[in-house]
Structure 1
């Protein structure tokens, strides 16, 4: 089949390359000329394991091409996937849908009856219905469907090639048949396929993210209780997760969630529910959001106490800037938020990250950055472990102790071998875990 993917950011480039790898002929479109030139040369706009190889393979095959010409993209194929961003509106919890609307308006004059626009962007429930009404006036006979993505950063290539489920919100049997053909190789492999209406498809994405965010905030709330009670949150999480009705996934206590999805998705969900008159049904998500934000504040407070009550004149080393490992994404990164707060209080902060330093430098130029862990920790009064990259778990704490002024570390992600670090002479602190008796 021929199809276009409009928007070549994180979701769009992975989706376009996956479709081409399935054997389809794909044209990716974007208004960013520099990005399109890089993609045509096989250079992805983000760090994601396996993406560069997938992109280069599909570009070399000739099945994946790129353009900045929206009219060309509209005429290229009868199926158009929309993968543009829907960020949170400034000063509001609501999603900014201007990019989605602009794509639909740009495609409409060139669409023929039977053509299909397929939204993958995360949007408030009711968006597809509103766009379908808009399209009926500008492109009679063309259709709108919604096909949410469920990609996890760090696993996006695998998730796109072997999804846990495919959800399509369609208004007709024709639209369903088109999407079944698009995903035919995956359906032959037994991937579950859910056909529903567009409203339900839109809700599936935000409901899924809201549930996962709730699990993360729940176990972090338990970490607060454990700190007060002298209990161990890791043992608690393991025992609670052993219940098959609950399960262990997303019950890892730590610094909380960040990135471009969970925070803005739950806020957008709350805003849309208020518009629908059912805000009280999801009011608990405000506490989920508050608990998550509080983990950053609690980490700053813990760090402040460990350096004597004030950061002025102290050196703080930070291990991690990305919001999660195997990603260079620093959007709403808890690690970067903590680093900036500590710098604002007077500390000199040196940050290390294997992949995210360029993005972090652009967002937080007031911090110092280095690609060398020992350099980041040189003369440090405190080391903060904020993103659980495997490289940090492989650190020899005895060797690192020679670099610092005070061997004190906060393991905000519960990923370091606490016993090994303590044997090497470090004072290790982890939220929700009691300190061993001297």
Structure 2
């Protein structure tokens, strides 16, 4: 099929490359000339494992093109909206201006096709009610098109895998039976390789499809904040949160995933999605249904405060002039995303308390140098460790988890480490002569 993808950021670029890999003819449209030039050369504008070879394959075959020319969508039958929905300034609510611009671009440039109505597919995470509003605008404009909402469930670092082999596909369909059939048939053709592999396909209405992504993210955020609140209790009571998580994770009603205590969640999705969810609930008059998410958000932010206070305690009560090596700045490993990154926020707070922060990250260093020129960013862990009086592992990159504590001790001025992600072996580091502190655990607690 001929497909357009409007918005070629993280979601759009991955989706476009994967749809071309399925054999479709795909054009990606974005307003950023620099981003488009990179993508047109087969080079991602962000770090994502497995994406570059897929991009190059599509570009080299001619099945995948990128442009800033909005008129290039004219011949497509299926139009995916994959633009960002950031948090609105001064509010928890989502900013839908990019979504509405994409809709207007489709109304302006899309042409009717001989093989049936156009299909407009929403991928962006939006407040419930948006799909129907778009469908109403399309109908008012007189365009022969149907709207379907098809939420994405990408995990940064696994986005290609999650697009090519998702765990489910959700179609949010219009109530009208004829329009619903058109949308379902078109998406079935788009996703034929996925459906042939037996991936579950769920057919729901607009509001349900819009709620799936934010409901899932809210549940995951709640689970993360729950185990982080347990870490606070473990610190006070002398328990080990990692063993606690292991014990409760054996209960199949709970499960072990997302029970890793640490400095909290961040990134471009979870924080803004749960806040937009709360804002939309308030607009619908059911704000009490999601008040628990305020505490989820509060617990998450409190983890950053805790990490800074722990650093101050380990440094003897004050951070002024203390050289702190920060390992990791992105919000998670295998990503260069520093949006609402707990690691970067903590590094900035340490600097604000007078610490001599020397930080490093395998993928996010370039972005941080531009965002925070006040922070000293180096290219390797060894450079950061050299002469450090305190080490803080804040992003669980494999190379940091694998650091030899004896080698690290030979570089630092004082062997003190805060394991912000609870990924190091406490006993191994203690045996190597380090003063180790994790999030809700210490060396020697476990038996």
SS at the partner of 1:264?
Answer: helix
Distance 2:96 2:29 in 1: 18
SS at the partner of 1:383?
Answer: strand
Could you tell me which residue of structure 2 aligns to residue 66 of structure 1? 66
Could you tell me which residue of structure 2 aligns to residue 116 of structure 1? 119
From 425, 430, 434, the equivalent of 1:422 is 430
Could you tell me which residue of structure 1 aligns to residue 92 of structure 2? 93
CA contact (8 A) 1:71 1:107 kept: no
Distance 1:97 1:152 in 2: 22
Could you tell me which residue of structure 2 aligns to residue 223 of structure 1? 231
Distance 1:139 1:305 in 2: 65
Query: 1:78 offset after TM fit, Å?
Result: 1.1
Query: 1:193 offset after TM fit, Å?
Result: 0.3
Query: 1:402 offset after TM fit, Å?
Result: 1.6
After TM superposition, the structure 1 stretch with the greater mean CA deviation from structure 2, 153-162 or 426-435, is 426-435
Question: TM-score under structure 1 normalisation?
Answer: 0.98
Distance 1:334 1:347 in 2: 17
Distance 1:188 1:134 in 2: 34
Question: TM-score under structure 2 normalisation?
Answer: 0.96
Query: 1:98 offset after TM fit, Å?
Result: 0.2
Could you tell me which residue of structure 1 aligns to residue 177 of structure 2? none
CA contact (8 A) 2:70 2:109 kept: no
Is the aligned partner of 1:166 residue 2:198?
no
Query: 1:139 offset after TM fit, Å?
Result: 3.4
Could you tell me which residue of structure 2 aligns to residue 134 of structure 1? 137
Is the aligned partner of 1:102 residue 2:93?
no
Distance 1:235 1:394 in 2: 21
Query: 1:435 offset after TM fit, Å?
Result: 4.9
From 240, 251, 259, the equivalent of 1:243 is 251
Is the aligned partner of 1:368 residue 2:376?
yes
From 314, 320, 335, the equivalent of 1:327 is 335
- With over 3 angstroms needed to count, the CA separation of the structure-2 counterparts of 1:9 and 1:306, relative to structure 1, is same
CA contact (8 A) 1:84 1:100 kept: yes
Distance 2:283 2:259 in 1: 31
Distance 1:21 1:164 in 2: 18
After TM superposition, the structure 1 stretch with the greater mean CA deviation from structure 2, 219-228 or 102-111, is 102-111
Query: 1:419 offset after TM fit, Å?
Result: 1.4
CA contact (8 A) 2:173 2:204 kept: yes
Could you tell me which residue of structure 2 aligns to residue 355 of structure 1? 363
SS at the partner of 2:411?
Answer: coil
Distance 1:118 1:139 in 2: 17
Kindly report which structure 2 residues correspond to 1:33-44, keeping only aligned pairs within 5 A, or say none.
33-44=33-44
SS at the partner of 2:337?
Answer: coil
Query: 1:434 offset after TM fit, Å?
Result: 3.9
Distance 1:80 1:176 in 2: 14
Could you tell me which residue of structure 2 aligns to residue 303 of structure 1? 311
Distance 1:110 1:46 in 2: 28
Kindly report which structure 2 residues correspond to 1:137-216, keeping only aligned pairs within 5 A, or say none.
137-171=140-174, 172-216=180-224
Moved over 3 A (4+): 434-437
Query: 1:110 offset after TM fit, Å?
Result: 3.3
